[in-house]
Structure 1
Amino acid sequence: MPEPLAARGGQASTVVEPEADATWSPPSWEDVVREHSARVYRLAYRLTGNRHDAEDLTQEVFVRVFRSLGSYTPGTFEGWLHRITTNLFLDQVRRRQRIRFDSLPVDADNRLPGTDEGPERAWEHNNLDHDVQAALATLPPDFRAAVVLCDIEGLSYEEIAATLDVKLGTVRSRIHRGRAQLREALAHRRDPSRRAPVPVPDDGASAPASVGRKGSRR
């Protein structure tokens, strides 16, 4: 297994979860964008492997949030964002088409997360392991999503199963096979003579190099 990847970072959200407050009501869209755009972008970046696609995916996530926030079913807000981001990524891979931006207010573009590189994105781009992100990019999308959610985002197998809407055994299989492929792609780190033909991402992005996990691991 290659060295562990990255733990989740950033400050805790100030969005009050419904379990903690019976009078909870959904936050405004602007509050969600302000508090969660960096976290969503990090996940999008690790899934897509490059800055341009990560920015596109991040904006599409918040378009979906905008349309769905009023009907949001109380639960774990971060988990909801994980599901939207990961499933939109997998949908894009499968369909190769973008979500339509119709039925949005005329000022929606001004309210979506910007594409300018702020301090958090600059840190992300400058402190990522190029080899690891390039190796992640070689995994089949389903394997990549499972590995990223487990070894980078720190979700448990049960949480990943709920996020991807698949069986627990499927999650275990995807993570096991994804890690095996990742080990092979990174074999040159242990033996330089076995350097794998891993493509370099077009913007030099990749994942950081430590992990934080929660939940069961088998």
Structure 2
Amino acid sequence: MWNLKNLFQKHAHEIQRVLQKSGHGADEAEDLTQDVFLRILGAEAPQQADNPRAYLHRTAKNLAVDRYRREKIAAIDAISEERYLELADDAPGPETIVSDRQQLALLQQKLAALPPQMRRAFELYRLQDLTIAEVARELGLSVTRTWTLIRQAYVQLRSALDDDNEQ
């Protein structure tokens, strides 16, 4: 059984130097060195290897190759802070926020104006996530009648939004 603490103290600096000499930056070599020991910590088979130093170096080389392949596939380009600040923001702008709030207020108004049974069926189905059969049971209606009420509510609410967008 390997003593991981002793192995780290004895070989970590050496592995990091080898990785740096093979073209990895200091930070990357340090990360890869830590990954080597994490790999050993999570594996059982290498504990049986005769030469821990050779195993550590082979693991380091394999991890370095894996990182190189991963970077080759998904190359990451560093950009300046100025360029970063020019990138588009995914957050909605003030116009979108105002428009969405107006549409929400309109929908709330139109929902309140629906006939009570239709509104209740729609709310149970859409807002409380009940199935149509559960809504039908709750309202004491047939499944077909319940679906008709929900569909009519959708049509009226969609129509209200379409009319608002045309203006």
Fold shared per TM-score above 0.5: no
TM-score, normalised to structure 1, is 0.30
More helix by share: 2
TM-score, normalised to structure 2, is 0.39
Structure with greater Cα Rg = 2
